[in-house]
Structure 1
Amino acid sequence: MKKRTVTVALALSLAVLVGGAAIAAMKRIPIHDIKVGFIYIGPVGDGGYTYMHDQGRTYMHEHNPDLPKSVIVENVPEGPDAARVTETLVRRGANVIFGNSFGYMDFMLDVANRYPEVYFMHCSGYKTAPNMGTYFGRMYQPRYLSGMVAGAMTKSNVLGYVAAQPIPEVIRGINAFTLGARSVNPKVTVKVIWLFSWFDPGKEKEAAKALIDAGADVIGMHADSGAAPQACEEAGAYVIGYNNDMSQFAPTKHLTAPIWNWGAVYDYTVKQVSEGVWQPDQIWWGLKENMVGLAPFNEAVPKSLIETVESRKKAIIAGEWDVFWGPIWDQKGELKVKDNEKMTDGEMLGMDWFVEGVEASIPK
């Protein structure tokens, strides 16, 4: 769904050049004439990924009261159906369309090329056109901060991680989580179970249970439902949620969660279109832009730990430090990022290795 490959760095450069060449062709649309369509990979009621996108849609309307009611299409699988749904939205009058899954990319691009007067925004992809941009967030930043909480709260020094797909986006999150945990507790190790799925509540719950059985007393996650937090609540293990505040699924065991504010992009985009200044940018915003953040802390989290986390958060926002600044070693003991050096965006977007402390392999 949100897959990124090692071709991203080159694709980003090419897309920016191509996109910047013809933006003059896009016309301003008054806010009261903008008709927005959303294509969702899952159900709004998933309690996670799609739910937060829809919260972002609500945020967009709250901040643009003259914007007409938007249209959503849920449960659209990655593949040809994405093209069909996108085309249908255009024919129904949508002139700004958002697609929230990586696998929509080529299909949206095809439709965008056929409707140059319509604005398209694709979540997590790397291909652009004069009328199609991309958007995503630096989720690795709050992943690191949540890892600090997990590393300080564990008693067994074993953390678990319910992981969706073995792709750079997820690998980057696991690494950030591990680096954060080991920054406060160098003894921590992280075990990973792959789901090979983005949304499968049954698998998510069983994976969490298996990790707890393997000794993990704090579980992190990159999955779209609240099933893993439910399993942790039932088993008495702490959990770091994802996408939104998942304390509703684990009232006593939810420590915090890296969360999305998709509304920041949705609001920004319709304003850019209405002002006639939209460009096919490749948005990758972080804590500074309020695209990502942390859910409230469980009352069990010590105040001193919260202060430490907030201090590190301020450093990231100020640009004084970021997660993948060296020195960083991989799980084989090889120095991957030297002291006083930092990974480029391209390197982060194509990440295909685990940091020291992760006890798992990356499937081919």
Structure 2
Amino acid sequence: MSNVLRPSRRHFMVTSAVSALLASTTRTLAADPIKTAGIYTVPVEQQWVSRIHIAAVAAQDRGDITYSYSENVSNTDYARVIREYAEAGNKLIIGEVFGAEQEAREVAADYPDVAFLMGSSFKEDPALPNFAVFDNYIQDAAYLSGIIAGSMSTSNNIGMVGGFPIPEVNRLMHAFMAGAQEMNPGIAFQVSFIGSWFDPPKAKETALAMIENGADVLYAERFGVSDAAKEQGVLAIGNVINTQAEYPDTVVASAIWHFEPTLDKAIAEVQAGTFAAADYGIYSFMNAGGTSLAPLGTFEGKVPAEALALVEQRKAEIMSGAYVVTINDDEPTSS
């Protein structure tokens, strides 16, 4: 007779129940939402920050995070707010530290168990392993929108109004200009920066001066530019968000930023316990789902077929890797 003990049905049922409980507990633990905070120097309605905010709200709605945020935080107050959120038990802090780089990194060093995902003009530092950076590398869609802009200008004069000449703005302007010039080699550009991330009246005033100087298409990197275009009956190209619903006769196309791939990657890394210093910029590329060209909407049928054919060709090439839009972070200048 064998001495091997064979499990009874009762033993099997108990073991199965324990296994099921452990599996359920594991799933529950894995699904626990990450306490997350957003810190923004502008209102969440501002186009760049709005894309971060929308992605965070979506992540909260599906249960991945719990989300609170502060807006209109000054650069001088930014470090204090970071510290308050870290002390409050947040495990993921997102935001933009373009004007508070050193202070933000110094605070992050004090909280090694907190993951920081910050918009930055600088790169990650291996010595600060809990601080990852991102930026809206949406040059792919900006380039495609430039092709459309170049085909729509009859005066061969495009006005471009930006906030500050920092890399995240410069690269989009250069990509846009490259697309416009590929479609229309004779195009000229007026380039100006208003020195603010949110000053619609100043952006509008700057754009109006460009229109007076011959621009019939405007690159609306800031709010206020499309208002000038609408008022004067010229066209505009949007940036980061699609505002065609507000400007149906004005905004021809827009390069849209989708922050979801960036945030989702960070959430997955925090959940896995593998969050590390890294450059998340690649998740804003078109082939990562981080940018797209908005539908033409009210301008369907009004954009030259030649331009649309080039857009589709380049889009396919960008997705396959056959065509790479140049990233140029240098400050652009007028023609």
Which residue of structure 1 aligns with residue 3 of structure 2?
Answer: none
Give distance in 2, aligned partners of 1:141 and 1:256: 14
Does the 8 Å CA contact 1:144/1:178 hold for their aligned counterparts? yes
Secondary structure, counterpart of 1:208 in structure 2: helix
Which one of 287, 301, 309 corresponds to residue 303 of structure 2? 301
Task: Write out per-residue CA displacement over residues 137-187 of structure 1, whole angstroms, 9 at most, x where no aligned residue.
Answer: 322221111110000001111111012112333332222111111101111
Task: Write out per-residue CA displacement over residues 240-284 of structure 1, whole angstroms, 9 at most, x where no aligned residue.
Answer: 011100113312111111111112111221112112232221122
Which residue of structure 1 aligns with residue 218 of structure 2?
Answer: 219
Task: Say if 1:215 and 1:190 are closer, same or farther in 2 by CA, change over 3 A.
Answer: same
Return the letter of the residue paired with 1:172. Answer: R
What's the Cα RMSD here?
A: 1.9
Which one of 94, 99, 102 corresponds to residue 95 of structure 2? 99
Give distance in 2, aligned partners of 1:132 and 1:30: 23
Alignment of 1:1-364 (within 5 A): 30-46=30-46, 48-62=47-61, 65-79=62-76, 81-124=77-120, 125-128=122-125, 129-223=128-222, 225=223, 227-285=224-282, 286-297=285-296, 298-299=299-300, 300-324=302-326, 348-349=328-329, 351-352=330-331, 358-359=334-335
Identity %: 30
Give distance in 1, aligned partners of 2:318 and 2:83: 41
Give distance in 2, aligned partners of 1:151 and 1:131: 43
Deviates more, 1:303-312 or 1:253-262: 303-312
Does the 8 Å CA contact 2:130/2:275 hold for their aligned counterparts? no
Scaled by the length of structure 1, the TM-score of the pair is 0.77
User: Which structure 2 residue ranges, 5 or more long, are not aligned?
Assistant: 1-28
Deviates more, 1:96-105 or 1:309-318: 96-105
Which residue of structure 2 aligns with residue 7 of structure 1?
Answer: none
Task: Say if 1:158 and 1:109 are closer, same or farther in 2 by CA, change over 3 A.
Answer: same
Task: Write out per-residue CA displacement over residues 182-215 of structure 1, whole angstroms, 9 at most, x where no aligned residue.
Answer: 1011110111122111211111111111111111
Secondary structure, counterpart of 1:247 in structure 2: coil
Which residue of structure 1 aligns with residue 26 of structure 2?
Answer: none
Return the letter of the residue paired with 1:39. Answer: I
Give distance in 1, aligned partners of 2:51 and 2:255: 12
Secondary structure, counterpart of 2:286 in structure 1: coil
Return the letter of the residue paired with 1:84. Answer: R
Does the 8 Å CA contact 2:173/2:332 hold for their aligned counterparts? no
Return the letter of the residue paired with 2:173. Answer: I
Does the 8 Å CA contact 1:145/1:180 hold for their aligned counterparts? yes
Give distance in 2, aligned partners of 1:105 and 1:61: 27
**Offset of 1:30 from its aligned partner?**
4.1
Name the structure, 1 or 2, with higher relative contact order (CA <8 Å, separation 6+): 1
Task: Say if 1:161 and 1:74 are closer, same or farther in 2 by CA, change over 3 A.
Answer: same
Which residue of structure 1 aligns with residue 25 of structure 2?
Answer: none
Secondary structure, counterpart of 1:72 in structure 2: strand
Deviates more, 1:50-59 or 1:302-311: 302-311
Give distance in 1, aligned partners of 2:32 and 2:303: 46
**Largest Rg, 1 or 2:** 2
Give distance in 2, aligned partners of 1:283 and 1:170: 17
Matched length: 299
Secondary structure, counterpart of 1:220 in structure 2: strand
Give distance in 2, aligned partners of 1:68 and 1:169: 27
Give distance in 1, aligned partners of 2:320 and 2:178: 20
Give distance in 1, aligned partners of 2:168 and 2:158: 19
Secondary structure, counterpart of 1:70 in structure 2: strand
User: Which structure 1 residue ranges, 5 or more long, are not aligned?
Assistant: 1-28, 325-344, 360-364
Scaled by the length of structure 2, the TM-score of the pair is 0.84
Return the letter of the residue paired with 2:238. Answer: G
Give distance in 2, aligned partners of 1:312 and 1:49: 25
Does the 8 Å CA contact 2:151/2:304 hold for their aligned counterparts? no
Name segments (4+ residues, structure 1) moved above 3 Å: none
